[in-house]
């Protein structure tokens, strides 16, 4: 006979204001198997947990129902309370009467209370069928995979490697460095981006625990936490990195010119190229889409000038495999394409550029030698209009969220403009100045006071050309009137969006992403670097817009998580896995086909006791099984059950209402 204990939580006023908690307790007491029911203000608090522990011992309870918040919130907390009292933690069931009742039926107390009662009844019914389960130990492969070699990936890789854990760093482009390597100086201290980044890049290349695989992409990830297997496609570089000295003769002689991605297309690179002088690894690759030899079989100049004979036109893509235990995703950001802002003439006027283009122009190693120029005629602009929130905070045309970094980098751009062109003036149209951060507000003040940047609070409604000037018409909200600025150059702080490949990558990794394409963290507040899939972590702008300090902090947090995961030789795994009752298994192997993890194999067992004839049955590898339950629903002979979600448990829930 089951002896169930029911514990109903007030959650302060969160539940008690909209659900009549004492009634729920009274209803619970009427259930046959409930031997004890009580309410408390905060069940998750220490006294609340103590009540559970005491009741387990006092009333010899066989299973526990906690009616409180979502099990996604506190299931672990209460399970721990059970095991502290010497009870198997999986004899707990949560009735979600907060997210599913009190918070969503705030205008219907009776309805909410009835529903809470039903949810408790269902949980009690389920808990009666609960079984004692034990965590599974699985071995762990102590190697981390870092996807993306920007500052986030670099920091995560270095921190993990410093703990003497091997790291494989995969970068899509020919060099690591990412967006940060494109920046000139960084706010709020104006230290040179390259100066602080390149030493880290070199550290990555020379670190004994880091395996750097540039110009490659992850194409497959199998397995589960601690035991992933990644397939990485190394794109053909057509250059033998082992013999190449990086002398650069090939790039100098190559006749093909292609817009230079590193400089946002402002100048050109060759078809065989290193992205920028400080690239790591400092070896060229051939861009197969543009190389005349690879396209038409003519040219071959790079092979002729290479003294080492490192050019190999026959090289093909190569797929390599790595066994890893954890993944850090750091794929970074892109800028939103502002074409929908037709009233600004984006795409029609050459002298409207985005912030990264401006960043490259003012950068000392940039295409214009550190002086901003007008793309239309090459003149140095005297009046530059910066427009913030282009695409950000704009539900109608762009994206609803705030891109977070634009306020600060636009202030920086105003200062840099002043440094490079002394007699220039910056006009900045803004909605709000969001300068929350250490030294940030001071930095914006500096831009306003030191450089005389004119901050105009209002939106720009139109940009049109008059002669060779761009007329920027907007609103000065503080004066409450329309203003027109005659600009030489317009810089749009377009929204920060995640890398376009994020949805595809998320599917490949089996993690989720939001409507913008940002990868989703497990919990927005309490688990900001983890994903819902164990062993996969997020760093940097792949999760949300972030500045460099935040990105570095999150990358280090990822490293701490990885090190924690790898601290022991085994890791604990939820026991919610499928099991086969061999006696019922007919050997149809439908379960083998539906298992997304190849966790089900077959084995031969004797037909009967002592029989010599054999029959085939399914066998589940509990280390690999992730507990989705596909096999359970497909099994015709009901031979498979999923621990924690068995047929009796769910049917009990269904009939209990």
Partner 1 sequence: MEAESKDKIVSIEKPELIAPPDWKPVIMGILCNWCSYAGSDLTGTSRTQYPPNIRIIRVPCSSRVDPWFIIKALQTTADGVLISGCHPGDCHYISGNYYARRRFLVTKELLKMVGFHGHRVQFSWVSAAEGAKFAQVVKKVTDDVVKLGPLHLYKKENFNR
Partner 2 sequence: MKEVSYFPGCSAHGTSEEFDETVKMVMKTMDVEMEEIPDWNCCGATSAHTLSESLSYALPLRNLVLAEKLSNDTMTIPCASCYQRMKATKVHMDENPELAARINTAVVGEGNYEGKVAIKSMLQYCYEDMGLEAIKAKVTNPISGMKLACYYGCLLTRPKAITQFDSPEYPMSMDRIVEALGAKATPFDFKTECCGASFSISDTDIVLQLSGKILEMAKESGAHAIVVACPLCQSNLDMRQHDIEKKYHVKYDLPVFYLTQLMAIAFGFPKAKMMFAKHIIPVDSALAHIGEVIEEPKKPVKGKKAVQAESEVE
Point out which residues bind partner 2 (CB under 8 A): 255-259, 265-268, 271, 290, 292, 342-343, 345, 348, 350, 368, 373-379, 462, 464-466
Q: Is 106 in the site for partner 1 (CB under 8 A)?
A: yes
- Phi, psi angle pair for 614, to nearest 5°: -115, 155
Residue 642, helix vs strand vs coil? strand
| Residue 103 touches which of partner 2, partner 1, none (Cβ within 5-8 Å per kind) | partner 1
Q: Which of 405, 530, 626, 639 binds partner 1 (CB under 8 A)?
A: 626
Residue 157 CA: distances (Å) to CA of 317, 324, 521? 25, 14, 20
Q: Which long-range contacts (CB under 8 A, 24 or more apart) does 207-211 make?
A: 207/157, 207/158, 207/161, 208/161, 209/160, 209/161, 209/162, 209/164, 209/165, 209/166, 209/167, 210/157, 210/158, 210/161, 210/166, 210/167, 210/168, 210/169, 211/166, 211/167, 211/168, 211/169
Q: In sequence order, what DSSP letters do the residues of 119-161 get, joined into one string?
A: HHHHHHHHHHT-----PEEEE----EEEE--SHHHHHHHHHHH
Residue 375 binding partner per list partner 1, partner 2, none, with a CB distance cut-off of 5 to 8 Å that depends on partner kind: partner 2
How many other C-beta atoms lie within 10 A of the C-beta of residue 189?
9
CA angle in degrees (0–180, nearest 5) for 125-129-133: 135
Considering only residues 510, 528, 575, 648, which one is a binding residue for partner 1 as defined by CB under 8 A?
510
- Quick check: 93 and 4 in contact, CB under 8 A? no
Please report whether residue 543 would count as binding partner 1 according to CB under 8 A.
no
Angle at 557 between CA 556 and CA 562, to 5 degrees: 95
Q: Are 22 and 113 in contact (CB under 8 A)?
A: no
For residue 632, state whether it binds partner 1 (rule: CB under 8 A): yes
Beta bridge partners, 425, equal 383
| Binders in 120-159 for partner 1, by CB under 8 A | 122
Q: Shortest CA distance to 33 belongs to which of 116, 132, 129?
A: 129
Return d(Cα 200, Cα 184) in angstroms, integer: 17
Q: What string marks each residue from 29 to 68 as x (binds partner 1 by CB under 8 A) or -? A: ----------------------------------------
Smaller CB distance to partner 2: residue 47 or 255? 255
* Angle at CA of residue 433, ends 538 and 412, nearest 5°: 75
Report residue 164 CA to chain centroid gap.
Answer: 25
Q: Give the CA radius of gyration of the chain.
A: 31
Nearer to partner 2, 308 or 462 (CB): 462
- Other Cβ atoms less than 10 A from the Cβ of 168: the count is 22
- Does residue 532 interact with partner 1 by CB under 8 A? yes
Contact flag: residue 498 with partner 1 (CB under 8 A): no
Judged by CB, which is closer to partner 2: 291, or 529? 291
Stretch that binds partner 1, among 251-259, 371-379, 608-616, 648-656 (CB under 8 A): 648-656
When CB distances are held under 5 to 8 angstroms depending on the partner's kind, the choice from partner 1, partner 2, none that residue 219 binds is none
Give the residues across from 139 on adjacent strands: 570
Q: Is 629 one of the binding residues for partner 1 (CB under 8 A)?
A: yes
**Window of 326-334, 347-355, 380-388, 629-637 that interacts with partner 1 by CB under 8 A:** 629-637
Residue 290 and residue 299 in contact, taking contact as beta carbons nearer than 8 Å: no
> Please, which residues have CB within 8 angstroms of residue 432's CB and are 6 or more apart in sequence?
407
Min dist. Cβ of residue 256 to partner 2 (A): 6
Identify which of residues 257 and 500 has a Cβ nearer to partner 2 in the complex: 257
Q: For residue 560, what is the DSSP state?
A: H
* Contact partners, residue 384, CB within 8 Å, separation at least 6: 372, 417, 424, 425, 426, 427, 487, 488, 489, 490, 491
The single-letter DSSP state of residue 180 is G
Which is closer to partner 1, CB of 187 or CB of 513? 513
Residue 29 partner contact from partner 1, partner 2, none using kind-dependent CB cut-offs of 5 to 8 Å: none
Q: Could you say whether residue 108 binds partner 1 (CB under 8 A)? A: yes
Q: Please count the residues of this chain forming the interface with partner 1, following the rule CB under 8 A.
A: 53
State in angstroms the smallest separation of the CB of 374 from partner 2.
Answer: 7
| Contacting residue, 12, 22, 47, 111, with partner 1 by CB under 8 A | 111
Q: How far apart are CA 303 and CA 315, in angstroms?
A: 13
Question: Which CB sits closer to partner 2, 268 or 527?
Answer: 268
119 binds partner 1 (CB under 8 A): yes
Least CB distance to partner 1 at residue 647 (A): 7
- Which of partner 2, partner 1, none does 105 bind, CB closer than 5 to 8 A by kind? partner 1
Please state the closest distance from residue 276 (CB atom) to partner 2, in A: 17
Q: Which among partner 1, partner 2, none contacts residue 645 (Cβ within 5 to 8 A by kind)?
A: partner 1
Residue 201 CB, nearest distance to partner 1 (Å)? 35
- Alpha-carbon distance of 633 to 650, in angstroms, equals 12
Q: Cβ of residue 654: shortest distance to partner 1, in angstroms?
A: 5
Minimum distance from residue 512 beta carbon to partner 2 (Å): 31
Question: Quick one: which of 13, 104, 195, 567 contacts partner 1 (CB under 8 A)?
Answer: 104
Interacting partner of 142 out of partner 1, partner 2, none (Cβ under 5 to 8 A depending on kind): none
Give CA–CA dist 384/470, Å, rounded. 10
Q: Is 515 in the site for partner 1 (CB under 8 A)?
A: yes
Cβ-based nearer residue to partner 2, 376 or 589: 376
Kindly state the smallest distance separating residue 342's Cβ from partner 2, in Å.
Answer: 4
Q: Which does 128 bind (CB under 5 to 8 A by kind): partner 1, partner 2, none?
A: none
Q: E strands of 358-459, at which residues?
A: 383-390, 425-430, 454-457
Residues forming the site for partner 1 (CB under 8 A): 70-73, 96, 98-101, 103-108, 111-112, 114-115, 118-119, 122, 506-507, 510, 512, 514-515, 520, 532-533, 576, 594, 596-597, 626-630, 632-634, 642, 645, 647, 650-651, 653-657
């Amino acid at each position: 006979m089951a002896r169930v204990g029911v514990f109903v939580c007030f959650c302060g006023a969160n539940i008690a204001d909209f659900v009549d908690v004492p009634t729920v307790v009274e209803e619970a007491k009427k259930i046959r198997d409930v031997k004890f029911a009580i309410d408390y203000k905060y069940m998750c608090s220490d006294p609340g947990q103590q009540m559970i522990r005491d009741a387990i011992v006092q009333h010899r309870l066989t299973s526990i129902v906690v009616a409180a918040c979502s099990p996604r919130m506190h299931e672990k907390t209460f399970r721990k309370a059970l095991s502290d009292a010497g009870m198997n933690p999986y004899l707990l069931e949560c009735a979600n009467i907060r997210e599913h009742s009190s918070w969503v039926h705030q205008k219907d107390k009776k309805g909410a209370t009835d529903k809470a009662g039903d949810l408790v009844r269902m949980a009690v019914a389920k808990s009666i069928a609960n079984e004692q389960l034990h965590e599974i130990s699985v071995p762990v492969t102590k190697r981390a995979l870092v996807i993306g070699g920007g500052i986030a990936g670099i920091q995560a890789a270095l921190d993990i490697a410093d703990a003497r854990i091997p790291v494989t760093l995969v970068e899509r482009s020919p060099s690591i460095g990412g967006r940060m390597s494109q920046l000139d100086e960084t706010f709020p201290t104006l230290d040179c981006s390259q100066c602080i980044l390149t030493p880290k890049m070199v550290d990555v290349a020379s670190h004994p625990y880091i395996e750097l695989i540039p110009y490659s992409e992850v194409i497959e990830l199998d397995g589960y936490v601690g035991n992933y297997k990644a397939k990485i496609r190394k794109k053909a570089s057509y250059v033998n990195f082992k013999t190449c000295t990086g002398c650069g003769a090939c790039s100098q002689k190559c006749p093909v010119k292609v817009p230079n991605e590193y400089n946002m297309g402002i100048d050109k690179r060759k078809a065989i190229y290193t992205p920028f002088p400080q690239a790591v690894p400092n070896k060229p690759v051939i861009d197969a889409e543009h190389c005349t030899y690879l396209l038409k079989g003519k040219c071959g100049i790079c092979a002729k000038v290479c003294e080492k004979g490192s050019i190999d036109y026959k090289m093909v893509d190569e797929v390599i495999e790595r066994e890893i235990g954890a993944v850090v995703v750091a794929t970074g950001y892109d800028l939103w394409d502002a074409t929908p802002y037709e009233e600004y003439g984006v795409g029609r006027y050459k002298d409207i550029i985005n912030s990264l283009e401006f960043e490259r122009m003012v950068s000392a190693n940039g295409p214009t030698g550190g002086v901003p120029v007008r793309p239309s005629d090459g003149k140095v602009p005297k009046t530059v209009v910066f427009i913030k929130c282009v695409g950000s905070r704009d539900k109608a045309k762009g994206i609803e969220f705030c891109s977070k970094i634009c306020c600060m980098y636009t202030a920086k751009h105003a200062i840099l403009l002043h440094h490079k062109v002394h007699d220039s003036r910056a006009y900045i149209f803004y909605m709000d100045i969001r300068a929350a951060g250490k030294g940030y507000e001071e930095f914006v003040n500096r831009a306003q006071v030191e450089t005389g940047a004119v901050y105009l609070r209002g939106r720009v409604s139109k940009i049109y050309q008059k002669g060779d000037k761009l007329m920027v018409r907007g609103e000065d909200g503080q004066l409450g009137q329309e203003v027109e600025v005659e600009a030489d150059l317009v810089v749009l702080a377009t929204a920060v969006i995640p890398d376009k490949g994020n949805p595809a990558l998320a599917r490949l990794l089996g993690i989720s992403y939001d409507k913008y394409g940002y990868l989703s963290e497990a919990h927005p507040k309490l688990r900001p670097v983890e994903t819902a899939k164990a062993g996969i972590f997020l760093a940097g702008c792949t999760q949300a817009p972030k500045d460099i300090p935040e990105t570095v902090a999150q990358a280090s947090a990822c490293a701490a998580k990885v090190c924690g995961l790898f601290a022991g030789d085994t890791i604990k795994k939820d026991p919610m896995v499928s099991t086969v009752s061999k006696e019922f298994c007919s050997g149809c192997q439908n379960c083998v086909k539906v298992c997304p993890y190849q966790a089900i194999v077959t084995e031969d067992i004797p037909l009967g006791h002592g029989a010599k004839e054999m029959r085939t049955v399914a066998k589940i590898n509990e280390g690999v099984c992730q507990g989705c339950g596909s096999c359970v629903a497909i099994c015709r002979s009901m031979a498979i059950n999923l621990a924690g979600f068995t047929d009796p448990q769910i049917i009990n829930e269904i009939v209990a209402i």
